[in-house]
Amino acid sequence: MAIQPYQEDSNVSNPIKRIRWATQRVAGDSGQRKRHSIINRFHHRKAGSTEKKRESGSSTDGPHLDGIQEEDESPTESGDHEDTRRRIWFNVPLPDDAKDEDGHPKTQYARNKIRTAKYTPLSFIPKNLWFQFHNIANIYFLFVIILAFFSIFGASNPGLGSVPLIVILFVTAVKDAIEDWRRTVLDNELNNSPVHRLVDWNNVNSAEDNISLWRRIKKASTRGIIRAYKFIKIKTSKKHRTEKTYAERALDEPRHSIETRRNRQSMMSSRTSFHSVQSRTDDGIQMRPVPSPQPGQQQLPESNHLEAVDRPETSFSFENENLTVEPPDGQSTAPYSLPKKSKPDSATVPAKFYGNLMNPFKSVPNKARFKKDYWKSVQVGDFVRIYNEDQIPADVVILSTSDPDGACYVETKNLDGETNLKVRQALHSGRSIKHAKDCEQTEFEIETEPPHGNLYQFNGAARWTQRDPRNSAAPGTEMVEPISINNLLLRGCSLRNTEWVLGVVVFTGQESKIMLNAGMTPSKRSRIARELNWDVVYNFAILFCMCLVSGIINGVTWSQGNHSLDYFDYGSYGSSPALDGFITFWASIILFQNLVPISLYISLEIIKTCQAFFIYSDTFMYYEKVDYPCTPKSWNISDDLGQIEYIFSDKTGTLTQNVMEFKKCSVNGIPYGEAYTEAQAGMQRRQGIDIEAEADKAHKQIAMDRVKMLADLRRIHPNPYLHDDELTFIAPDFVNDLEGRAGNEQKAAAEQFMLALALCHTVITERTPGDPPRIEFKAQSPDEAALVATARDCGFTVLGRSNDGIILNVLGEEREYTVLNTLEFNSTRKRMSAIIRMPDGKIILFCKGADSIIYSRLKKGEQQQLRKTTADHLEMFAREGLRTLCVAQKEIEESEYQQWNKEHDLAAEAIVDREDKLEAVSDIIERDLTLIGGTAIEDRLQDGVPDTIALLADAGIKLWVLTGDKVETAINIGFSCNLLNNAMDLIVFKPQADTAEATEDELNKHLSTFGITGSNEELKAARKDHQPPEPTHAIVIDGDALKQALDEQVRQKFLLLCKQCKSVLCCRVSPAQKAAVVGMVKQGLDVMTLSIGDGANDVAMIQEADVGVGIAGEEGRQAVMSSDYAIGQFRFLQRLILVHGRWSYRRLAETIANFFYKNIVWTLALFWYQIYNDFDCSYLFDYTYILLVNLAFSSLPVIFMGILDQDVNDKVSLAVPQLYRRGIERKEWSQLKFWLYMGDGLYQSLICFFMPYLLFSPATFNTQSGLGVDDNKRIGVYTASATIVVMNVYILLNTYRWDWLMLLLVSISILLIWFWTGVYTAASSSDQFYKAAPQVYGQLSFWVLTLLTVSICLLPRFSIKSFQKIFLPLDVDIIREQIRQKKFKYLDKYEAYVPPGKLPSASSSDVSQPIKDTAGVQTPLEEDERPIYPPSVAATGTTHNPRSQTGSDGTDYTGHKTSLEMPRPSFDRPRPSFDRMRSSMDQIRPSYEASNDFTSAALLTRMESSHSEHLHSPRTPHGQSSLR
Following DSSP, what letter does each residue of 1384-1447 receive, concatenated?
A: TGGGGGSSSSPPTT-SPPPP--SPPPPPP-TTSS-PPPPGGGSS---SSSPP-TT---PPP---
CB contact at 8 A, 15 and 403: yes
Beta bridge partners of 962: 1066
Q: Computed over its alpha carbons, how large is the radius of gyration of the chain?
A: 38
CA of residue 721 relative to chain centroid, distance: 36
**Which pLDDT score is estimated for 662?**
93
Contacts of 1417-1422 with C-beta under 8 Å, sequence gap 24+, read: 1418/1491, 1418/1492, 1418/1493, 1419/990, 1419/992, 1419/1492, 1419/1493, 1420/1492, 1420/1493, 1420/1498, 1420/1499, 1421/967, 1421/988, 1421/990, 1421/1492, 1421/1493, 1421/1494, 1421/1499, 1422/990, 1422/1038, 1422/1040
Q: Is the pLDDT assigned to residue 1479 strictly greater than 60?
A: no
Q: Is the pLDDT of residue 76 over 60?
A: no
Confidence of residue 803 (pLDDT cuts 50, 70, 90): low
Q: What is the percentage of the chain residues whose pLDDT exceeds 70? A: 74
Classify residue 1504 as exposed, middle or buried by CB count within 10 Å of its CB (0-12, 13-18, 19+): middle
Contact call for residues 1284 and 1185 (beta carbons, < 8 A):
no
Beta bridge partners of 768: 774
- Given a contact cutoff of 8 angstroms between Cβ atoms, the answer to whether 595 and 1160 are in contact is yes
Find the helix packing angle between 1051-1059 and 1016-1024, rounded to 10°: 40
Kindly state the helix (H) or strand (E) to which residue 1162 belongs, with its residue range: helix 1142-1169
Give the pLDDT score at 1205: 94
Nearest to 976, CA basis, from 644, 648, 727, 695: 695
Composition of the chain by helix, strand, coil, percent to 5: 45, 15, 40
Establish how many alpha carbons lie within 13 A of residue 642's alpha carbon, considering only the half-sphere containing its beta carbon: 27
In this structure, of 332-341, 400-409, 598-607, 1138-1147, the range with the lowest mean pLDDT score is 332-341
How many CA atoms, within 13 angstroms, populate the side-chain half-sphere of residue 211? 6
pLDDT digits (tens, 9 = 90+) for 83-118: 577 889 998 888 888 888 777 888 888 888 888 777
What does the alpha-carbon distance between residue 1132 and residue 1126 come to, in Å, rounded to a whole number? Answer: 10
In the predicted structure, residue 591 carries a pLDDT above the cut 80: yes
Is the model's pLDDT at 122 over the cut of 50?
yes
Closest among 1378, 1058, 1364, 1088 to 1223, alpha carbons compared: 1088
In order, the DSSP letters of 250-315 are HHHSPPPPTTTTTT---SS-----HHHHTT-----------PPP-TTPPPPPGGGS---PPPPP-T
Considering the candidates 373, 416, 535, 650, report the single residue annotated as catalytic.
650
Helix (H) or strand (E) holding 1379: helix 1371-1380
Q: Within its chain, how far is the Cα of 485 from the centroid?
A: 23
Residue 390: closest CA among 196, 595, 605, 618: 196
Lowest mean pLDDT among 789-798, 928-937, 1040-1049: 1040-1049
> Helices in 298-425 by DSSP H: which ranges?
413-416
3-state secondary structure of 398: strand
What long-range pairs does 291-298 form, CB within 8 A, spacing at least 24?
291/252, 292/194, 292/248, 292/251, 292/252, 292/372, 293/251, 293/372, 293/373, 293/374, 295/223
Q: Which whole-number Å values give the CA distances from 1285 to 479, 1347, 1361, in the listed order?
A: 87, 9, 19
Q: What gap in Å lies between CA 342 and CA 348, rounded to an integer? A: 10
Calculate the CA dihedral of residues 272, 274, 277, 280 and round it to 10 degrees. -110
Tell me, yes or no, if the pTM score tops 0.85.
Answer: no
1424 CB burial (10 A radius; 0-12, 13-18, 19+): buried
Q: What does residue 989 show for φ and ψ, rounded to 5 degrees?
A: -80, 110
CA gap 1496, 989 in Å, rounded:
18
Side-by-side strand order, sheet with 644-649: 631-632, 1125-1127, 1107-1111, 1088-1093, 644-649, 958-962, 1063-1067, 1033-1038, 985-989
Residue 236 or 1177, more confident: 1177
In contact, 1229 and 1142? CB cutoff 8 Å: no
Q: What is the pLDDT of residue 302?
A: 36
Q: Which of these ranges, 327-341, 721-735, 907-921, has the smallest mean pLDDT?
A: 327-341
- pLDDT above 70 (res 341): no
Round to whole Å and give the CA distance between 418 and 1119.
Answer: 10
Name 1174's Cβ contacts closer than 8 Å, sequence gap at least 6. Answer: 553, 554, 557, 563, 564, 565
- End-to-end Cα, the chain, rounded Å: 37
Query: pLDDT class for 326, splitting at 50, 70, 90?
Result: very low
What is the residue type of 336?
Y
Of 1138, 1149, 1144, nearest to 1211 by C-alpha is: 1138
Q: Which of 351, 390, 391, 393 is nearest to 375 (CA)?
A: 393
CA-based torsion, 910, 912, 914, 919: positive or negative: negative
* 3 state DSSP class of 215: helix
Residue 14 and residue 499: Cα distance in Å, rounded? 13
Looking at the predicted structure, is the pLDDT value of residue 333 above 60? no
Q: Which residues are paired to 1067 by β-bridges?
A: 1038
Q: Hey, what amino acid is at 990?
A: K
Q: How far is residue 767's CA from residue 763's CA, in Å, rounded to a whole number?
A: 13
pLDDT single digits (tens) 163-200 = 778 888 888 888 788 878 877 887 888 888 999 999 98
SS3 category, 1350:
helix
Is beta strand 656-667 parallel, antiparallel or unpaired with respect to 670-672? Answer: antiparallel
Contact 416, 1118 (CB under 8 A): yes
Element spanning 1118, H or E: helix 1118-1121
Look at strands 644-649 and 958-962 and give their pairing.
Answer: parallel
Give the Cα separation of 488 and 386 in Å (integer). Answer: 13
Q: Please give the torsion angle defined by the CA atoms of residues 199, 201, 204 and 205, in that order, rounded to the nearest 10 degrees.
A: -20
pLDDT computed for residue 571 by the predictor? 59
Catalytic annotation on 1210? Answer: no
Asked whether the beta carbons of 645 and 1224 are under 8 A apart, the reply is yes
**What number of other Cβ atoms are within 10 A of residue 1335's Cβ?**
21
Q: Give the span between the Cα atoms of 1358 and 1360, in whole angstroms.
A: 6
Query: Alpha carbon of 859 to those of 920, 987, 1446, 1518: distances in Å?
Result: 19, 37, 15, 18
Could you give the CA distance from residue 1467 to residue 1487 in angstroms, rounded to a whole number?
Answer: 30
pLDDT score at 33: 37
1114 vs 1130: CA distance, rounded Å: 13
Residue 860 has pLDDT above 50, yes or no: yes
Residues 6+ apart with CB under 8 A from 264: 256, 270
Question: DSSP strand E in 111-214: where?
Answer: 194-199
Instruction: State the pLDDT confidence band at 1115, using cuts at 50, 70 and 90.
Output: low
The least confident of 583-597, 618-632, 1433-1447 is: 1433-1447
Q: Write down the pLDDT at residue 886.
A: 94
For residues 569 and 1112, give the distance between their C-alpha atoms in angstroms, rounded to a whole number: 73
pLDDT tens by residue, 732-758: 999 999 998 888 999 999 999 999 999
Coil, helix or strand for 658? Answer: strand
Helix (H) / strand (E) element for 899: namely helix 894-909
More confident residue, 1054 or 144: 1054
What average pLDDT does the chain have? Answer: 76
| Beta bridge pairs of residue 832 | 848
Residues 1408 and 984: beta-carbon distance below 8 Å: yes
d(CA 376, CA 491) in angstroms, rounded, equals 13
